[in-house]
A = this chain, B = another copy of it.
Amino acid sequence: VRGSLRRPRLAATMAPEVRVRRIAVLGCGRVGSAIARDLAEEFEVTVADRDEEALDRVARGAPVRGEVADLADPGEVRRLAQAADLVVGAVPGDMGFATLKAVLEVGRPVVDISFFDQDPFLLDELARDAGVTAVVDCGVAPGLSNLVLGREEATMDRVTRFLCYVGGLPVVRTWPYEYKAVFSPLDVIEEYTRPARYVAGGEVVTAPALSDVELIEVPGLGTLEAFNTDGLRTLLVTVDVPEMREKTLRYPGHAERMRLLRETGLFGKEPLLVNGVPVRPVDLTAELLLHHWRLRPGDEDLTVMRLVIEGVEDGRHVRRTYEMLDRYDRELGITSMARTTGYTCTAAVRAVAHGAYRRVGISPPEFLGREPACHELIVRHLAERGIHLAERTEPAG
């Protein structure tokens, strides 16, 4: 199966140019609201959520229209999509697949950042039948990381190795976890539990999550640790690189602490009898970690990403390293996580809206990276918002 999805790109169908005026942003969380605000500079934006307060907050800061809606209802999603020329999916992961499906059922182009568990290519036929572009996994990593790899794969003679180090971190480091999350602890625990798939010698192999801890130095920030997580997602099947690995970045010590909880059994999903009552350990643990991990309003965060791509370019072996260190936006009060995820998404929205990316069907960001004009538009869009990928190339053994 690996690499088989590369072929369709040669025979890709292009969507007709559509004029995009009205955009529906589904979901008004931290990222959804940053997306709505950014898109409102150019489009007529409607943002939908169950949370009226969140809608009021974003409407106070930008000319967007809020609409209270239950996005768990596919009928509501279809109605909102039909009233728009393009849709952004920014719902929680467990609602993502159904939401994307409902949007495609009414034939609207869509850019999604819900990072749902299911294989997005299950919706490829639906998107093709509708003749629309559906960009998925369009955040930082997956997202920007895929875009960069797609670009290198299209321009190098061949790519031999891809390493992605990425993490969102709080500025203030509080013992013991030195970590804050904008997602549910259950999602983070899932990352620390699910075996990590990576590619070695052209084969997909697995390692336990939280394994192969190594220390890396980040200029201007200090030492972080990196460990295996299952983050390659679509890259496992869309690109043909024989060595690929994704690692999560945290402050040093985090992985061992999470392994301690995991090996103690605190991430267990099998109910345990506690005084005669069945309890899933992971539910209690997630409930407790919520208090420690919740990023509170005003808490500053940062996002670190390092991509290492080795390959043959003009007949020579090279190693190209991309480094990103993004920080909280104090002026707008937007987290770095929302900036890097949201602005990659709004960049892709513009690429689709302006006809720089017109491939029909499901497209993970590595497909967008293969189109030079689209890649350039996205990188420029991010740079205008202060998100830079510093790049250096050196000879590789």
Contact = CB atoms under 8 A, between A and B. Distances in A.
A284 interface: yes
A289 interface: yes
A288 B277 contact: no
Nearest to A279: B279
A264 to B, nearest CB: 6
A292 interface: yes
- Nearest 7 pairs of A and B residues by beta carbon: A265-B288, A176-B260, A274-B283, A274-B284, A279-B279, A264-B288, A284-B284
Interface string A278-293: 0111011101110110
B265 A291 contact: yes
Contacts of A291: 265
A273 B277 CA distance: 12
A175 B175 CA distance: 21
A284 B279 contact: yes
A273 B292 CA distance: 17
B292 A288 contact: no
Nearest to A286: B274
A4 interface: no
A263 interface: yes
Interface string A172-193: 0001100000000000000000
Q: How large is the interface on A (under 10, 10 to 19, 20 to 34, 35 or more residues)?
A: 20 to 34
Given A284-B281, A284-B284, A176 B272 contact: no
Contacts of A289: 264
Contacts of A284: 272, 274, 279, 281, 284
Nearest to A273: B287
B288 A272 contact: yes
Given A274-B287, A288-B272, A176 B281 contact: no
Contacts of A265: 288, 291
Interface in A261-313: 261, 263-266, 268, 272-275, 277, 279-281, 283-285, 287-289, 291-292
25 contacts: A175-B263, A176-B259, A176-B260, A176-B263, A176-B264, A261-B264, A264-B288, A264-B292, A265-B291, A266-B285, A266-B288, A268-B288, A272-B284, A272-B287, A272-B288, A273-B287, A274-B279, A274-B280, A274-B284, A275-B280, A275-B283, A277-B279, A279-B279, A279-B284, A281-B288
A155 B231 CA distance: 69
A273 B288 CA distance: 11
A50 interface: no
Contacts of A380: none
Nearest to A257: B260
A188 to B, nearest CB: 14
Contacts of A268: 288
Nearest to A175: B263
